[in-house]
Amino acid sequence: MKIKFAYLLPNFFTSLSTFFGVMSIIASSQGKFEKAFIYIILSLIADGLDGRIARLTNTTSKFGVEFDSLADIVAFGVAPAMMLFFAIGENYGRFGALISGLYVVFGAIRLARFNVTTAENDPRYFIGLPIPTAAVVLGSWVMLDVKYESGFDITILVLALFLGFMMVSNFRYPSFKKLDLQKNIALKVLIYIIILASFIYLYPIEAISAILSLYAFYGVFRGIKGYFKIMKSKR
In tens, the pLDDT along 146-196 reads 988 888 999 999 999 999 999 999 898 887 665 555 555 667 777 878 888
In tens, the pLDDT along 7-38 reads 778 888 999 999 999 999 999 999 999 999 99
* Residue ranges with strand state E in 131-232: 172-174
Alpha carbon distance 68, 204 (integer Å)? 27
pLDDT, the chain, mean: 87
Q: Across residues 129-157, what is the average pLDDT?
A: 93
> How would residue 62 be classed by pLDDT, with cut points 50, 70 and 90?
confident
pLDDT above 70 covers what percent of the chain? 88
Alpha carbon distance 156, 84 (integer Å)? 9
Q: Across residues 54-67, what is the average pLDDT?
A: 80
172 forms beta bridges with 127
**What's the Rg (C-alpha) of the chain?**
19
Q: What is the pLDDT of residue 59?
A: 74
Q: What is the pLDDT of residue 225?
A: 79
C-alpha separations of 1 from 6, 7, 128 in Å: 9, 10, 40
pTM of the shown model = 0.88
Across 41-50, 125-134, 156-165, which has the greatest mean pLDDT?
A: 156-165
Least confident among 1-10, 165-174, 219-228: 1-10
